[in-house]
Amino acid sequence: RKEVEQDPGPFNVPEGATVAFNCTYSNSASQSFFWYRQDCRKEPKLLMSVYSSGNEDGRFTAQLNRASQYISLLIRDSKLSDSATYLCVVNLTSNTGKLIFGQGTTLQVKP
Amino acid sequence: DARVTQTPRHKVTEMGQEVTMRCQPILGHNTVFWYRQTMMQGLELLAYFRNRAPLDDSGMPKDRFSAEMPDATLATLKIQPSEPRDSAVYFCASGLVRIVQETQYFGPGTRLLVL
C-alpha cells in the first residue's frame, strides 16, 4: 500500500464547476499536510497547507480528518487556469522536512 | 525573487556515461532535497541534507547514485554509470526547517534521457 494515495483522474470539469479531490495516508503518526500544484512540465509549487481545523484560501478549501487519515481539497468556481496536477503531501515528522508525495490528481477545466 | 536553480535543464546521454546534476539552493535554506519524478512512480525522494550533512539517502540506488553538498551553495547528484531506467525528471528542492517544516521550494528540474 502506498503511503499517500490519490485518485489520478483525470477530472474533466466545465468552467465554474466545483470539484473535490481526496487523498488518504497510511501513517497515523503523520504530522503535517499540504497540497502542491504542478503544471505540465513544471516543478511542484505549494498551494496550501492543511490544518486540523480546515482552512480556506479564496476558492480553495482544504480539510483534514485525522481519524480517517483523509485529506481533501475543494475548488469552487473552477477557472481554466486551475488545470494542473494536484499533489497531496504528507510530512511524517514536522522537524525533518521529509515529505511524502501522492501520485497526483489531474484536473482539466474546459471552457 | 529567490529561486532554486538547477543545471543542466536537459541532458541526453548514452547508457554507461556519467551524469552530474547541480543545484543551487535558496540562500539561507538549511535543507536540500533531491527527488526523481517518472510517470510510473510519481515523485520519489532520493536523498536530503540538513546543514550540508546527509540525513537520509535510503531512496537512492547506492550502487550508481551519489549525492553531495560540497558547500552551502551547491548540491550535486551523480549517476555513474547511467542506465535507461534512470530517465526521469530530477528535482532539487530547498527549505528552511527550524522547529517545524516550512515550505519546500522546487527548482525547475533536470530532464534526463539515457539512451
The CA-atom distances, in angstroms, between B97 and each of A60, B75, B105 are 26, 17, 12
Is B109 in CB contact (< 8 Å) with chain A?
yes
Query: Grid coordinates standing for A110?
Result: 474546459
What is the spatial distance between Cα B26 and Cα B107, in angstroms, rounded to a whole number?
Answer: 10
Query: Cα A92 to chain center, whole Å?
Result: 16
**Contact residues, chain A, for B45 at CB < 8 Å:** 98-100
CA angle A71, A75, A78 (to 5 degrees): 155
- Return the closest-CA partner of residue B36 out of B48, B23, B45, B49: B45
DSSP characters over B69-83: EEETTEEEEEESS--
pLDDT tens by residue, chain A, 111 residues: 788 999 988 999 999 999 999 999 998 888 889 999 999 999 999 999 998 888 999 999 999 999 999 999 999 999 999 999 999 999 876 566 678 899 999 999 999
Backbone angles phi, psi at B86, to 5 degrees: -80, -10
Is B103 in CB contact (< 8 Å) with chain A?
yes
What is the spatial distance between Cα A43 and Cα B47, in angstroms, rounded to a whole number?
Answer: 18
Is A103 in CB contact (< 8 Å) with chain B?
yes
| B42 to A95: CB separation less than 8 angstroms, yes or no | no
Bridge partners of A72? A22, A63
| Residue A64 confidence (pLDDT) | 95
| A44 to B108: CB separation less than 8 angstroms, yes or no | no
Q: Which residue of B has its CA nearest to A91?
A: B101
Residue B85, classed as helix, strand or coil, is helix
Q: Note the pLDDT tens digit of each residue in B40-89.
A: 888 999 999 999 999 888 889 889 999 999 999 999 999 999 999 999 99
